[in-house]
Amino acid sequence: MKKFEEKTIHSERLYEGKVINLKVDDVTLPNGKQSKRELIEHPGAVAVIALTGDKKIIMVEQYRKALERSLVEIPAGKLEPGEAPEYTAMRELEEETGYSADKLEKVISFSTSPGFADEVVHVFFASGLHRAENGAVTDEDEFVELLEVTVEEAQGLIENERIFDAKTAYAVQWVKNYLSDKN
């Protein structure tokens, strides 16, 4: 057994949804005792750090029902079955913002909430931005407003909690470091 591993002895799927599945696992703990784990299965997601030629970060504002308010975020979206993260990143950038990129580079992948969810977000840096032929083409249940903000403006959005998610806060810090390395 791996260090601290919890061995699954029974798993029950309670819910299958469009975005997530919910299951409860009965596990044996490293000390031999048993416990339950409530787990969310998620197909994974991408997020795109898109920087314009005048050093503005492309973001979108949208309503997030889980928090009952609008947030400002970098473009992001869920992986579809069989879709490569790079493809999803380009698709989401174009759908949400109306921009395409000449180049896409992987920045990092990370777990969002490892205590109860298996979601992994793959973050990409998009450069060589240009307006896509079709403009933004959001899903029918998706309502977003395009924003272009400087690093300083983004830091203000973090301070007043309009940027409130980890991927976007990470992106702002990444852009700050990226731009300071360029100077």
Q: Catalytic residue positions?
A: 140
d(CA 75, CA 142): 12
d(CA 152, CA 158): 10
d(CA 44, CA 67): 20
d(CA 13, CA 138): 31
Q: How many residues in the chain?
A: 183
The sign of the torsion formed by the CA atoms of 158, 55, 86, 144 equals: positive
Nearest CA to 131 out of 148, 143, 153 is that of 148
